[in-house]
Amino acid sequence: MNEKSTKLLEGSIIKSLVSLAIPIILANILQTAYQLTDAFWVGRLGGVAVAAVSVSFPIIFLLISLGSGFAIAGSILTAQYFGAKNKEMVNHVAGQTFFMVIVSSIILGAVGYALAPTILKLMGVDMEVFVSALGFMRVIFMGIIFMFGFVMFQSIMRGIGEVKMPMYIVLGTVLLNFVLDPLFIFGWGDISGHGVMGAAMATFGTQAIAMIIGLVMLSKGKYYVKLKLLEFRPDYKFIKKAFLLGFPSSIEQSSRALGLIIMTFLIASFGTLAVASYGVGGNILQLVIIPSIGLSMAISVLVGQNIGAGNIKRASDIAKLGAIISFVGLTVIGITIFIFAKWLVTFFIPNDPEIIAVGTNFVKIMALSFGFMGIQMSLTAVLRASGNTFTAMLIVLLSQILLQFPLAYILSKHTSLGIDGLWWAFPISNILIALITLAWYRKGDWKKKNIMTETKTL
């Protein structure tokens, strides 16, 4: 075990959290830049092209969410076995979870490719958008194996505490994508342009390169994990246990996607003003979530490794300190955003006073509850890291389906709040779900689960 990663099991918790969280946050920011690059070049094709990508995104996101559970399971198991200094099982986890990801990506990719025309027709997409959207979606589905593969590589590396190398690879793909996007979209010289589909082709290429680099690194064993072909041989007993661990995470991620779609339908019933204001607020929320996700991932790694090492006391201390840091940090960010809400909204929509007014109100209503969102994400990460993925799934389902949407519907449709009722559903649900998550965490059941025993192979 390398000396640097061993230090995550001892010493300053804050130093360990920071050393893990910063590279993860930077990688997430780079991933956002990846998407912004696509949006920038596709936007040069006009409104039809932008619409083609926009209608494709929720479906692609939903299928990716379904396949993400195995990557989460891989990260959890890797962290715990790494903490237990069981290199043989770390290698086995890497091989088996890669096998599961490959099989699931082939199935989901094939289903998505075949059903893409039907889905677009059910969505009522105009014919001028249909052709571009279909080409874009099908190329993405063809390359989904590379996307899943690189996510799996990141999860394994994160599980052993090595977060800088994935960040460097993401940086390389962002730079490469910036070059390939205009090349494949517009063409150059003897290379033909493919319009919107070209953006998907660029993604296909960069993700393939990223996954290949990841597999080569793991096969060389430089970062503690030694990936061997023998480990790809199906171990059905392990696969069953890993599936039971990862499937709730797939449902959890999918429910986030479905919650987003459902809320969008409700908000759309209030017209373009509400949708536009929600879009602006959503952009700001995404920026806030990036550091919160980074910290929650760092907490998950540290808790998982320390549980694996049998150090439950340190794992508990990490959970408490991580939740406090997340609450204080996001509260400070929320207060700052509250103060500068109008300026931020104006940055995104500079020439529409009505949207600026409604969007500013949305951002202000939402901002002061960011700290509670941080508590929920941090403690859910602890539950997930201990193997309580079913509990984490229930919390997200409760938040998205049973709290946020019903609150938004009742407050907006059945009170005098109107459109403001939509916005108040966000802070109320954030506070309630944070308190529920805290109560669940304090029960202490997460300290008793032993997934290493449950996933032990013959």
pLDDT at 458: 40
Query: Is the confidence at residue 44, as pLDDT, over 80?
Result: no
Query: Is the confidence at residue 428, as pLDDT, over 60?
Result: yes
Between the ranges 100-104, 190-194, 254-258, 443-447, where is the mean pLDDT highest? 100-104
Tell me the C-alpha distance between 122 and 104, whole Å. 25
Q: In this predicted model, which residue has the larger pLDDT, 452 or 128?
A: 128
Q: What is the pLDDT of residues 209-237, one digit of tens each?
A: 999 999 999 888 878 888 888 888 888 88
Query: Is the confidence at residue 254, as pLDDT, over 90?
Result: no
Between the ranges 46-50, 124-128, 344-348, 418-422, where is the mean pLDDT highest? 418-422
Tell me the C-alpha distance between 179 and 377, whole Å. 35
Query: Is the confidence at residue 303, as pLDDT, over 80?
Result: yes
Query: Is the confidence at residue 137, as pLDDT, over 70?
Result: yes
Query: Is the confidence at residue 418, as pLDDT, over 70?
Result: yes
Q: What is the pLDDT of residues 171-195, one digit of tens each?
A: 999 899 888 988 998 888 777 778 8
Nearest to 9 by CA among 63, 85, 76, 96: 85
Nearest to 399 by CA among 338, 449, 362, 440: 440
CB-based contact 370:288 (threshold 8 Å): yes
Lowest mean pLDDT, pick from 38-42, 185-189, 417-421, 431-435? 38-42
Lowest mean pLDDT, pick from 159-168, 283-292, 338-347? 283-292
pLDDT at 451: 67
Which SS3 state, helix, strand or coil, does residue 7 take?
A: helix
Q: What is the pLDDT of residues 336-382, one digit of tens each?
A: 999 999 898 887 777 778 888 888 898 899 898 999 999 999 999 99
Residue 56 confidence class, pLDDT cut points 50, 70, 90: confident
pLDDT at 453: 60
Q: What is the pLDDT of residues 108-117, one digit of tens each?
A: 889 889 988 9
CB-based contact 133:125 (threshold 8 Å): yes
- Percentage, residues of the chain above pLDDT 70: 95
Region 3-17: mean pLDDT is 71
pTM of the model: 0.81
Region 259-279: mean pLDDT is 77
CB-based contact 75:302 (threshold 8 Å): no
Region 141-147: mean pLDDT is 91
Q: Share the mean pLDDT of the chain.
A: 84
Query: Is the confidence at residue 439, as pLDDT, over 50?
Result: yes
Query: Is the confidence at residue 388, as pLDDT, over 50?
Result: yes
* Burial of residue 76 (number of CB atoms within 10 Å: 0-12, 13-18, 19+): buried
Residue 286 confidence class, pLDDT cut points 50, 70, 90: confident
**Distances from the Cα of 399 to the Cα of 168, 173, 300, 369, 431, angstroms:** 34, 34, 20, 14, 10
pLDDT at 435: 93
Nearest to 178 by CA among 33, 76, 311, 67: 33
Query: Is the confidence at residue 6, as pLDDT, over 60?
Result: no
